[in-house]
Amino acid sequence: MGATEHAAIADAATAHGVVVRGAGRVFDGRTVLADVDLTIAPGEFVALLGASGSGKSTLLRGIGGLDRGFTGRIDAPAAKAIVFQEHRLMPWLSVWRNVALGLRGGNIRERALTALDEVGLGAKSDAWPSTLSGGEAQRTALARGLVREPDLLLLDEPFGALDALTRLNAQRLVARLWETHRPATLLVTHDVEEAVLLADRALILRDGRIAEEIVVDLPRPRRVTDPEFVALRSRLLAGLGVGDGGPIRATTEDQEYTHV
């Protein structure tokens, strides 16, 4: 690693972005991540895609400091927040106390309530987590992350367990929150549409390394029906080794032709 490159990396890290160089992770002799290079600029939204078991979540946990068994180097800002696939709220703390958990400084209750208002749950602040719906619980988890004003927001398939309609709303909420607060964001997902909808860049993890990078250069808010959107989605699907549903469309077109 050259001196200038090293300096650049250090700069990026101090400026609240993420720099991963040559990161590897081995579980019981099985290599999950071999040689991952990844940079997230401050305020950038990056989506990380990959097949099941490709190590997406492992990489996120490494960046989040939850997995200390990594080789290579990972520089991430100290102020980070993680939203998991399950809400992971403490069932014995009321909603606002969950959001406030571990907060430092003054006005803790007010800050928690403000964060809850922002995700539309101000009225539920005194409820028990067990009385929340899946979407509400996940929004509470988002509020718990955002109230910490993180420089880095790590989202580990946060909408994976939600039903389709709730997921759409939650995605819109994340887009809005990201535009307001502008943390560097890493979204781990298996949903290609979600990646194109939210991210500046989509990365595909394959064989233990970042195999492909696709820049999503579309104006926000994005529409799934936009031809450019569709094209990007197809590219990502191809990158994941899945046809973009072509055969189905081909047959409908065939039918149309036969009708004509």
Q: Which position has the token pair 């819109």?
A: 172
CA distance 252 to 141: 43
Q: Is 10 left (phi over 0), alpha (psi -120 to 50) or beta?
A: alpha
45 contacts 215 by C-beta, under 8 angstroms: no
Question: What minimum distance in Å lies between the beta carbon of 237 and another protein?
Answer: 27
Kindly indicate which of the ranges 78-86, 107-115, 189-197, 226-234 contains the residues binding another protein, using the contact rule CB under 8 A.
78-86
Question: What minimum distance in Å lies between the beta carbon of 128 and another protein?
Answer: 5
Length of the chain: 260
| Beta strands in 13-132, from DSSP E residues, in sequence order | 18-27, 30-40, 45-50, 71-75, 80-83
The footprint of another protein on residues 160-219 (CB under 8 A) is: 162, 165-166, 169-170, 172-173
Question: What minimum distance in Å lies between the beta carbon of 166 and another protein?
Answer: 4
Q: Does 221 bind another protein (CB under 8 A)?
A: no
Q: Which is nearer to another protein, 91 or 247 (CB)?
A: 91
Number of residues that bind another protein (CB under 8 A): 36
Pairing of β 30-40 and β 184-188: unpaired
Q: Does 158 bind another protein (CB under 8 A)?
A: no
Q: Does 102 bind another protein (CB under 8 A)?
A: yes
CA distance 38 to 80: 17
Backbone torsions φ then ψ of 220, nearest 5 degrees: -100, 150
Q: Does 234 bind another protein (CB under 8 A)?
A: no
| CA-closest candidate to residue 90, choices 150, 140, 155 | 140
Q: Which is nearer to another protein, 88 or 249 (CB)?
A: 88
DSSP category for residue 15: T
Q: Which is nearer to another protein, 86 or 244 (CB)?
A: 86
The footprint of another protein on residues 116-155 (CB under 8 A) is: 119-120, 127-131, 133-136, 139, 144, 148
Cis peptide bond upstream of 227, omega within 30: no
Question: What minimum distance in Å lies between the beta carbon of 159 and another protein?
Answer: 11
Kindly indicate which of the ranges 27-35, 76-84, 206-214, 225-233 contains the residues binding another protein, using the contact rule CB under 8 A.
76-84
The footprint of another protein on residues 239-258 (CB under 8 A) is: none
Residue 229: CB atoms within 10 A of its CB come to: 17
Q: Does 27 bind another protein (CB under 8 A)?
A: no
Q: Which is nearer to another protein, 10 or 123 (CB)?
A: 123
**What is the CA 149 to chain-centroid distance, rounded?**
16
87 contacts 140 by C-beta, under 8 angstroms: yes
Q: Which is nearer to another protein, 8 or 90 (CB)?
A: 90
Chain residues in the site for another protein (CB under 8 A): 64-66, 80-82, 84, 86, 88, 90-93, 101-102, 119-120, 127-131, 133-136, 139, 144, 148, 162, 165-166, 169-170, 172-173
